[in-house]
């Protein structure tokens, strides 16, 4: 879904800093582009604002020329792009600087706190070191965000698509806060997707991780163990996930296990 900034201004100031904001459904916790007014997942109109990571990848772009001022003969080049934010939504943007060819994978970009002259949020191509710094700053914001901005699991533990989506978003919050590494992230995400089925079977665990069910559950517990640097919010998220995953994976397994993950 594209987020057209001309419809709704997604750029706000938060504690003196210019931040790109997106929408979050209060019911199912799904994230959407800034112009979204009704959740397409659960049809709820209760949408809240929340700060985005400010990082993403270019989906497509083009170079166009636009008039400067009142003189139609005076034109300047401008790069318009569709960016997929790391948070999930797609938005229209203006790219500051040149866009390199995607030699390996997609081109990574980051939000610039500029006041857009044409209504489009401004992004720029980021290098590895810059992106690492940006991730650290956004992780700190996310880790210390107000409770209302942090995704929470449904109060009733029904392991359906709503629960899975909320749990995966919590996993992303932990990753952006550098509270879990990439290996732990994969373990937790796998455990979340198999939760509705009472956990994965021995064959699936052997193929995916080369471990027994007992060893995998230990890996989940280790991945969600609080770290010394974790904030109170992050510790709470880990505790929520640990309790719900433990309950799901220790329930009785259904007679027939699916051969592949049914929900992504």
Q: Report DSSP letters for the chain, one per residue.
A: ----TTTS--EEEETTEEEEEEEEETTT--EE-TT--S-TTT----EEEEE--SEEEEEEEEEEEEEETTEEEEEEEEEEEEEEETTS-EEEEEEESPPPP-SSSPPEEEEE----SSSSPEEEE--HHHHHHHHHHHHHHHHTS-GGGS----SS---SHHHHHHHHHHHHHHHHTTSS-HHHHHHHHHHHHHGGGTS--HHHHHHHHS--HHHHHHHHHHHTSPPTT--HHHHHHHHHHHHHHHHHHTSPPPSS--SS----
94, 129, 164 - which closes a domain: 129
Q: Of 71, 102, 129, at which residue does a domain stop?
A: 129
- Residue 98 in any domain: the answer is yes
pLDDT digits (tens, 9 = 90+) for 158-176: 777 778 888 888 888 888 8
Residue 104 has pLDDT above 60, yes or no: no
User: Could you tell me if 113 and 16 lie in one domain?
Assistant: yes
Q: How many independent structural domains does the chain possess?
A: 2
- Give the mean pLDDT of 142-170: 62
What's the pLDDT tens digit per position in 184-239? 999 999 999 888 888 888 888 888 889 999 999 999 999 999 988 888 888 888 98
Q: Assess if residue 263 is contained within a domain.
A: no
Same domain, 29 and 124: yes
Would you state the pLDDT for residue 128? 57
- Residue 223 has what pLDDT? 94
For residues 104 and 34, membership in a common domain is answered with yes
Give the per-residue pLDDT at 233.
80
Which residue range is the domain that position 64 belongs to? 11-129
Domain check: are 82 and 109 in the same one? yes
Choose among 148, 122, 4, 104: nearest CA to 56: 122
Residue 52 lies inside a defined structural domain of this protein: yes
Average pLDDT across the chain, whole number: 75
Q: Which among 44-48, 118-122, 215-219, 226-230 has the top mean pLDDT?
A: 215-219
Q: Any idea what the CATH number is for the domain that residue 55 is in?
A: 2.40.50.840
Q: Are residues 36 and 95 in the same domain?
A: yes
Per-residue pLDDT at 260: 37
């Amino acid at each position: 879904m594209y987020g057209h900034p001309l419809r709704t201004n997604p750029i706000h100031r938060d504690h003196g800093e210019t931040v790109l904001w997106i929408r979050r459904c209060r019911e199912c916790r799904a994230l959407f582009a800034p112009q979204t007014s009704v959740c397409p997942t659960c049809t709820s109109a209760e949408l809240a604002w929340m700060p985005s990571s400010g990082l993403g990848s270019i989906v497509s772009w083009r170079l166009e020329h636009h008039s400067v001022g009142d003189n139609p003969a005076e034109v300047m080049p401008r790069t318009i792009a569709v960016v997929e934010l790391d948070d999930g939504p797609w938005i229209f943007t203006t790219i500051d600087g040149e866009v390199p060819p995607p030699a390996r994978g997609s081109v990574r970009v980051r939000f610039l706190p500029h006041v857009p002259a044409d209504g489009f949020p401004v992004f720029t191509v980021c290098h590895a070191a810059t992106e690492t710094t940006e991730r650290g700053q956004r992780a700190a914001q996310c880790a210390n965000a107000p409770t209302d901005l942090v995704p929470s699991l449904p109060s009733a533990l029904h392991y359906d698509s709503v629960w899975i989506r909320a749990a995966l978003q919590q996993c992303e919050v932990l990753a952006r806060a550098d509270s879990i590494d990439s290996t732990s992230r994969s373990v937790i995400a796998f455990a979340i997707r198999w939760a509705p089925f009472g956990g994965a079977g021995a064959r699936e665990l052997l193929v995916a991780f080369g471990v027994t069910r007992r060893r995998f559950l230990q890996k989940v517990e280790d991945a969600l163990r609080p770290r010394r640097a974790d904030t109170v919010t992050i510790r709470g998220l880990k505790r929520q996930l640990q309790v719900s995953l433990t309950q799901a994976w220790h329930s009785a397994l259904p007679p027939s296990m699916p051969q592949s993950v049914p929900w992504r």
